[in-house]
Amino acid sequence: MLSAARDSSIRSDLFGSNGSDTFRQMRDDAFADIASERGVLGLADMIEFQMSKSIKG
């Protein structure tokens, strides 16, 4: 998800390198692991909240 968002933005190769790309991928993987373990993004809670509002009227 993070790499897809980054790929969609305008990218400059001024500071890019294979090392930077590898580091970014490792950082994205670590963030995704932490987010999935801790529920950092809270998507389930947001979806439940939105659905409960529509059900209650």
Can you give the three-state secondary structure of 20-54, one letter per residue? HHHHHHHHHHHHHHHHHHHCCCCHHHHHHHHHHHH
Placement of tokens 């409960």 in the chain: 52
Total count of domains within the chain: 1
Whole-number pLDDT of residue 53? 86
Cα 56 to Cα 45: distance, rounded to the nearest angstrom = 16
User: Whole-structure pTM over 0.75, yes or no?
Assistant: no
3 within a domain of the structure (yes/no): no
6 within a domain of the structure (yes/no): no
CA distances from 17 to 1, 8, 34 (A): 21, 18, 26
2 within a domain of the structure (yes/no): no
37 within a domain of the structure (yes/no): yes
10 within a domain of the structure (yes/no): no
Q: Which range of residues forms the domain containing residue 21?
A: 17-56
- Here the tokens at position 43 are 């998507």
11 within a domain of the structure (yes/no): no
Whole-number pLDDT of residue 38? 77
8 within a domain of the structure (yes/no): no
Confidence of residue 36 (pLDDT cuts 50, 70, 90): confident
